[in-house]
Amino acid sequence: MLPESYRLHHRADFSRTVRRGRRIGRRDLVVHVLLPNEADEDVAVPAVRVGGPRFGLIVSKAVGSAVIRHRVARRLRHICGPLVGELPPDADVVIRALPGAAHADSAELERQLRGALRKLDAGGPP
């Protein structure tokens, strides 16, 4: 599971990551990553952050009913837990689930997420 301190909570954090970060699309996910060296200096970013990287999830109604959306979000949060130690401590990651995520199993979602992070040079094993 993903502890609260490793989650994005504020709209500004989501917007900054999606607008200024790098993006890569996979079959069932779109991953946005904002690394510390990519953040603009003119944007107010907390100087001291406790913990490691932060993850945010976007699971829209296009994915399915509330039950399906929550299932997808739980799977993604569970997948993000082990990634905390593999990413830079100041990284922000936003994961947007596409409609196909409703039919993908956890192993497939993890494979897509790890592949996207590797491609973005954000972390993970080579």
- Give the β-pairing of 54-59 and 29-34: unpaired
Spatial CB neighbours of 123, under 8 Å, sequence gap ≥ 6: 83, 86, 87, 88, 91, 117
Return the DSSP state at 22: E
pLDDT exceeds 70 at position 48: no
pLDDT at residue number 46: 54
pTM for the whole structure: 0.87
pLDDT exceeds 90 at position 51: no
- Domain 4-38+51-120 of CATH type 3.30.230.10: yes
Return the DSSP state at 74: H
Place of tokens 């993970």: 124
Distance between CA atoms of residues 52 and 33, nearest Å = 14
